[in-house]
Amino acid sequence: MKILNLKKMNYICNCKKENFFDKNYTYWEDRKVTNDELNIINFLIKSNNFKYKSILHIGIGNSYFANNFYKDSKITGITISQKEIDKAKSYNLSNYDFFLCDKYSKEFNIFTNKNKFDLIVDNNLKSYSCCQESFEFMMDGIIESMNDKGMLITSINGMKWFKKLKPKFSFTLKKLFHFKLKEINGNELNILTINELKDLSKKHNLKIFFDNKLCYLVK
């Protein structure tokens, strides 16, 4: 699999964008894995026959997910934070590739058109999108990259996020002067409703399932 190494992304829309790739931004690498992702991990661990040989993890955070599954699966992860990449590297896990990429970009769409996965994990599918057009473009791409019987899994709580990230220059005693991605509230239209996900699953001919706090689509 060819891993991208890009400093600037291109988009299908004309929305004004921050460039997250020009500095070593810190974001989630030292924060605790979210409960939303923990629910997904527990669900996968409990599933009777874990059969996902290739996994795409969108939003690697502190790489807790990869640490749980790298022995059984080949994991490819993406993030928009260079410090999350550095953290991922520090684990030196076999079967774990990761790269900087905006999931709403044309480059990510090319990547998903060229690669196939048994499982795609993203607990904040829509939260960070700039517009509906880019969100649907990203969804078309990841659904295209699902293998037959492949699964896309997300968190119902994570669907309610509508955060936006703003680059900031900051200071803390631990990190001294550093660049960080600060979360601010974004567009409420980025709350992904169950109905919207149902419509997407219909459009792409996928089966949709709900399990307590999770939602998953199967090809």
Ligand X SMILES: C[S@@+](CC[C@H](N)C(=O)[O-])C[C@H]1O[C@@H](n2cnc3c(N)ncnc32)[C@H](O)[C@@H]1O
Note the residues at the interface with ligand X (CB under 6 A): 27-28, 33-34, 36-37, 58-61, 78-81, 84, 102-104, 123-124, 128
Nearer to ligand X, 49 or 58 (CB): 58
Least distance between ligand X and beta carbon 40 (Å): 8
With H, G, I as helix, E, B as strand and everything else as coil, classify residue 12.
coil
Closest CB to ligand X among residues 12, 198: 12
The pair of structure tokens assigned to 141 is 């791409």
Between 132-144 and 194-203, two packed helices, what is the crossing angle to 10 degrees?
A: 50
Contact 62, 33 (CB under 8 A): yes
Min CB(35)–ligand X separation in Å? 8
Shortest distance (Å) from residue 121 CB to ligand X:
8
97 or 198: CB nearest ligand X: 97
**Which of residues 191 and 198 has its CB atom nearest to ligand X in the complex?**
191
Nearer to ligand X, 86 or 202 (CB): 86
- In whole angstroms, the minimum distance from the beta carbon of 104 to ligand X comes to 5
Long-range Cβ contact pairs of 11-18 (< 8 A, separation 24 or more): 11/104, 11/105, 11/106, 11/130, 11/134, 12/106, 12/133, 12/134, 12/137, 13/130, 13/131, 13/133, 13/134, 15/130, 15/131, 15/134, 17/130, 18/165, 18/166, 18/167
Tell the smallest beta-carbon distance from residue 58 to ligand X (Å): 6
